Structures are given as structure tokens and as C-alpha cells.
Amino acid sequence: MDNIRHDVLISPVFINDTSKLVYRLMSHHAGIEKKGLESLSGEWPMEVDNYKQIYKELMLEAINKAKLSKQISIVYLAQTAVFKILLDGIRAQYDTMIGQLKKTVRQTDLCVYDYNSPPEESYHSNVNLRKIHLDRAIIEQKVGKDMCGFWADIEQNEIQPMLEAIFGCSTQLFENLLINPILHTQQYDNSFIMLNEYDLCLGRRTNDPDKYEALIFLVRQIINAIGLYDPSFSDINIEQRSNPSLSHDKEDTLKKRRTYNEKIEGIIQDPENMELLFNWLQTKADYRNLKKQNASKSELIRLKNLMKNQKKLLNYLYKQFKRKGLIELISASYEMQPEHLKYCPPLNPQQIAQYLVSSKTRKAIKKRLKRINQNYQQVLSLRPLNKKIKLLKNTTDFKHKIFLIRFLKAFARYHRDINNFRIIQDCMEQVNIATEDKIINLSRVNNTLYQFLLPHERPPEKAAIINHVVVKADVRGSTDITYQMNKLGLNPASYFSLNFFDPISEILSEYDATKNFIEGDAVILSIFEYENAPAGWFCASKACSIALNILMIIRRYNEKSQKFQLPILELGIGISYSDKVPAFLFDQANRIMISSAINQADRLSRCSKAGIRLFVNQNSLFNLYVFQAYDAENMTDGNDDLYLRYNVNGIELNAEGFKKLSNEIDLKLLKGTLTDINELKSNFYTGKFPTKSGYYQRLLIRESQIPIIDTATFKVKDISSHKYYEVCSNPKLYQWADKF
């Protein structure tokens, strides 16, 4: 409803169960749950199975909606919404857990102070709280991984096969996100998560050569230099490709370059591509196996050529990484394992890798370990790390290259997951999880709410509005009537109520009309047509009919008013049809419609003072006249502001409404010679409309061209090509029409 995000209503049961499971898992991974999940015997597996079933029903609902509308994007929207609920839920439950722990720590501290409880209990509580603070990223990541694991089981066995069957494709992005460790933590550069989940140890300082941003820039340069997708690179060596000024690529358009860059990005994000490009050792092993199996000569030649190219590319890659000082850092990140676990924490893996390759960093880390040893019972010895330094110095180029291939595969997966994380972040920002009744109702009534609910949660289906018509009845001279009645000591409020508003209210149900707005001297009605309800597709006919009945009611009450010497009412009625769906807003429980048809109906119901002066005492069969005040060159279609109107007890129907009416009922053209006061001929159309009560009401429509007049004299200068339509109410006209 904010015109920025998509409103999504997700099953409250799913949200509640997600929250419960997240808290249980978080307590478990934070180590504050005294009993493990496995100790719950059949209770925990049953909870998980029930949750999986709820998730399955939710996703099936999304698929059914997507199938109905033939838009797979609805499934993507549901997937984005459940991710947002999960991630928001993880962070919210972490904050709840921390709040409860802090409360427990305060109570423990008070017990130590007031009741001389053992201080060790308070110490352990504080240490545990600090550890949970430090391990936040790891805890959140583990919880998210477990939750996505529940979803992945259903996705793999139930949802993705159905998507492929219906739409011919599955959501590869969603599958990758379910196993994306970065998704569940706000710290995707966390050293522990990076090493445990990706087998990577990247720098975080601005000048670190192995920082992610620097590495991805270098890898893109190298893949670009290889030029896999650019035929113009075939005769240019690798060194030239890495230098754009030497690449002879000046004729490429920006579009081609963008497409090429996207292909490069696609290569980098697939770990298998790193294997295919650089891992000649794997190709060598494949070659030997196939040779033993007596494979075809052509296949063996292909593998031999591939191996040759892989060696060449790996040597080039190794050269570029070594030039940046990255080879030793990469090898150190693998050589330090698993000894790094003895030091991490309190140190982080990046510090261990730096210790192995940098003498400057070594001194700082030694000092830090001395300070740390004072707070730890176990002394952290540097002897294992010093052995690793010697081992690293003796590492051969061959082993460095093996580490480099291992690194590239891990880095490709990490880069892919970061990109996917950013994509889903952007998507989640465009989704609003609707939880407030006000937003839900407002979005639902305006057909902007996407609902993914369980069967028992779904509200009764309401047919969607497909178009509408607005009727405005405006009282002429209401100010004078109010003044006269006040002067005579009479009550104008009750007069308008009894003679205008109340009688109209009594006939609304007959025409499926609703009151949209009431002013002191006007009422605005609306009639809707609904999807899949052709029996009620008569909104223009209903509007014309209710307008005629309003005039009949007013005439009847005027006779009574004249009898008791009360003022009589004169109206101007405008009918505006729109084939658009109206918008709605709420003022507390009151629904308010927003539509351009309201403004047009208001203009059609107006009557200019000049028009009243001109037609006073005129004996005309018609109650509506429209004039154009300017020439046709200054006039635009639908611009009613430049028209002058005489509308006293008249009903004007807009052109779209006339077209709609002619589609609803059979309108017959009546050939006659009736003219208006300007001696202009009009076309008359008549037809019958089936009312709700079972009888047929005749409608008579006058179609007339709009004369162009001199506004000073009201003399007709020309005839416009524009037309106006009057719903005739004069009984004499209906008598005339009956002759046909």
C-alpha cells in the first residue's frame, strides 16, 4: 500500500511455528538449553514434521496461485516472504534470548550480594553471556542452516518437481539460498564462518591483498584476460588481453561489453568452472582412467589438449596471484589447519595466517598472546605455529598451485553466495509482511495483497471488482432553500433528510448501489461489477434507472411540499462509468472510494448560472444542455472544464457510460424529427433493462452534438464533433418513444 513494496500476508500459524522452532534451536546452539533436542524423544521430531507439512501447504498454495495467474513470479514472492520472516525471526529471537539472559544475570548478581551465594555462579553466567554475544553470527548461522534444512527436504522432494512439471523450470536461486551460510548472519565476512563453511581465510583490513573486494577484482581481470567468450581474443596472447588498451576491442558496443561481463560473472560464480579451467591434475586422473578403459582416441586427445590448456592457464593464474603477494597467504590459510583451532578464539584465523607469513604481524601477535595467557589457565604455545612457518617456506610451487585451485573453487562458491545474498536482500526490501489488520484490509480491498494461507485460515472468497459507475445527485439552490427555511423558523436539516436522503436510501438495494459520500446538498452513489458474475453486469443500466427513480421520488415529494408551501427541490444528476478498478482507503471502519469517475460525475451534475438564466421559463422537453465555450482547437477529449451546462432535473451520462449501456442492453435507434431549443436534431436510443424485482424498465437516451457558442451572447457559432448524452426523464418523451 505504500506504492514501494508488495504487501504479503503469510499464514500466522507458519509465522508462529517458525518463531517457536527458531527459539528452541537458538537455545540449543547457544548452550543454554539444559537438555538437548535429542532428549525430547518423539516430541522434537514430531514438531519438525508438523512444521515441514505446514511449509509444504504454504508453498503449494503459492504454486496454485502462480498456476492460476500463469506467473511463476508469485512463487518467487512467497519464497522471498518466508525468507524475510525467517531472518527477521532469527534476529528477534536472539534479542529475546539475550534479554532473558541479562535478566537472569542480574538476578544471580543480586543473590550473590544479598544472600551470599557462591560468586562462581555469577561469574559463569556473565562469561556465558559474553560468549553468546561474541558468537552471535555463528549461532544465527547454525539456526538458519537448520531451519533451511527443514525447507530443503520439502523443496527437493515435493515443491521443485511440481514447479518443473507446471512451469518447466525450478528455482535454482532458491535452492542455492537454502544452503547459503551467509544468508543467516549479518556478518558475511566473519572469519570463523568463512573458514568453517567455505574453507577460506580472507583479509578484512583495507590494505590486505587477500581482501574479498581486491580478490574479486583480480579474478575478474584474469577471466577477462582469458577471453573465453570473445572470438576477437583468439589471436591475442593472455598478457595483451589483461591490458584493455592492447586488446583491440575498441569497436565493442557498451551493450556487448555488458553482456560479456555478465558471462564472466557467470563463470566465476560456478565452482565447477574453476575446476574445468585450472585443475589439470583432475583431468590427468580422468585421462589415465579412460586410457585403462580403452576409451576412444578422440576423447583421449580432447583430454590431453584440455590438460595442456589448463596447465597454461594455471601458470598464468599463479603468476598473477604471486605478483600480488597472495600465494603465501593462500597456502598459509591451508597449512595452518587444524592447529589454528588451538588459538581461535581468542585469535581469529586471519591473524594465524598473517603470523605464518609476516614477521611484522608475528611480533604483535606474540605480545597479544602474552596478555591473553594471563586470563587463560592453559598457556598457548607458539611452537606448533613456528613449525608451520618452516613448512610453509619449504612449500613447492606444485603444492602452492594445488592450494590455489582449492582456493579458487572455495572463493567461487563464496562469491556466488554473496551475490545471491545481495539479490535476496534487495528482494526482501520490496516485500512488506502485512501483520496489522488496518494494512491487511486496506491492501486486500485494493487487490494489492498477496495471501499465502493454510486452508483453515483463508477468508471466504470475495469476487473482485472489475469496473464501476458513479452517480452524483446535486441539489440546485440549496443555499437559498436553507436561508428561506431558517427565515421561516423551519428545519432545513430534517427537510433535506426526509425529502432527499432517506428516500434515496430506500431504493439502493434494488440497484445494488452503495452510498459513497454525502454532502449537505448532494449524494454520491457507486455501483460495482464483479468478476465471474455476468448476471450483474448491468452497472450502466442500473445507474440510469436509479437516477430516473431519484427524479421520480423528488417530484413526488415536491408535490407534497407545494401543498404545504415548502420549497421544492431541483436536482442535477451526473453518471460516470469507468472500466477501471477503484481504489479504497479506510477512515477507521469507514471505507472510502477513490476514483476519477467521482470527479467526472461531479462535473456532469453541475449547472452554470449563465445556463439557468438562459433557460428560465423555456418550455423544453429536455432537461440537459451542454455548450462548448471555445473552438475545437482548444478542446481536448474528456476535458469537461471548458463546457457550460444547463442541468436542472437532468441526467447526463458520460460517453464511456453510453458505450457500456449499449453493450448491456439492446439499444434501438429511433428516427424522429425532435429538435432542441437551438433547432438541433438529436438521436434517440431506447431499450429495456431487467431490474432486480423482475420487471423491465425502459430507458431513453438522447445523443446530441455540442454546439460552440459565443459566451457573451450564447449564440451558436458552430457545431462541435463532441457529443453528450441525456438520460431522458420527461414522460412526454417516453410516450413519443412508445409510438415506435
Question: Checking DSSP bridges between strand 6-10 and strand 431-433, what pairing results, if any?
Answer: parallel
Beta carbons of 236 and 248 less than 8 angstroms apart: yes
| C-alpha to C-alpha distance for 302 and 300, rounded to whole angstroms | 5
β-strands 583-587, 522-530 pairing: unpaired
Spatial contact of 458 and 114, defined as CB atoms under 8 Å apart: no
Looking only at the bridges linking them, the beta strands covering 465-475 and 449-452 are unpaired
- Report d(CA 376, CA 459) in Å as an integer: 61
How many other CB atoms sit within 10 Å of the CB of residue 740?
A: 11
d(CA 243, CA 238): 9
- Residue-level pLDDT at 35: 58
State pTM to two decimals. 0.75
The strand pair at 449-452 and 6-10 is best described as parallel
What are the angstrom distances between the C-alpha of 711 and each of 281, 462, 636? 94, 51, 19
* Strand locations in 383-464 (E): 431-433, 449-452
Q: How far is CA 359 from the centre of its chain?
A: 53
The CA R_g of the chain, rounded to the nearest whole Å, is 40
In 331-367, which positions are buried (b, 16+ CB within 10 angstroms) versus exposed (e)?
bbbbbbeeebeebbeebbbbbbbbbbbeeebbeebee
Cα distances (angstroms) measured from residue 149 to each of 142, 145, 153, 447: 10, 6, 6, 34
Residues near 23 by beta carbon (within 8 Å), at least 6 away in sequence: 93, 96, 97
pLDDT tens digits along 321-360: 999 999 999 999 998 888 787 777 777 888 888 888 888 8
**Scanning the structure block, which residue is given the C-alpha cell 565476512?**
189
Specify the residue for cell string 502485512. 434
Pairwise CA distance, residues 32 & 39, whole Å: 14
Q: What pLDDT is stored for residue 586 in this prediction?
A: 83
* Termini Cα distance of the chain: 53
CA distance 311 to 503: 93
Per-residue pLDDT tens digits for 280-293: 988 888 889 888 88
Residue 631 has a pLDDT of 55
Topology adopted by domain 461-602: Alpha-Beta Plaits (3.30.70)
Residue 40: per-residue pLDDT: 53
Residue 158 DSSP code: I
**What does residue 41 show for φ and ψ, rounded to 5 degrees?**
45, -120
215 Cβ contact partners less than 8 Å away, ≥ 6 residues apart = 202, 326, 411
How many residues in the chain?
740
Regions in the chain scoring below 50 on pLDDT: 115, 123, 229-242, 244, 246-247, 632
Give the start-to-end residue ranges of the domains of the chain.
6-196, 461-602, 607-738
Residues 6 or more apart whose Cβ sits within 8 Å of residue 609 = none
Torsion of the alpha carbons at 665, 668, 672 and 674, rounded to the nearest 10: 10
Amino acid at 348: N
Is residue 564 exposed (0-12), middle (13-18) or buried (19+ Cβ within 10 Å)? Answer: exposed
DSSP H or E stretch at residue 398:
helix 397-429
Phi, psi (deg, nearest 5) at residue 707 = -80, 145
Residue position matching grid coordinates 506504492: 3
Residue in the structure block whose three cell numbers are 582469458: 226
104-130 burial by CB neighbour count: b if 16+ within 10 A, else e?
eeeebbeebeeeeeeeeebeebeebbe
**Cβ–Cβ contacts within 10 Å for residue 12, how many?**
12
DSSP three-state, residue 547: helix
Residue ranges of alpha helices (H) inside 586-639 are: 596-604, 609-615
Type of residue numbered 87: L
Which residues are CB-contacts of 80 (< 8 A; sequence separation ≥ 6)? 424, 427, 428, 430, 431
Distance (Å, whole) CA 580 – CA 464:
12
* Cis status of the peptide bond prior to 346, with omega within 30 of 0: yes
Write down the H helix ranges in 269-382.
271-278, 280-292, 297-323, 327-335, 349-357, 359-373
Residue 633, all three cell numbers: 482547437
According to the model, what pLDDT value does residue 233 have? 45
On whether the CB atoms of residues 454 and 11 are closer than 8 A, the answer is yes
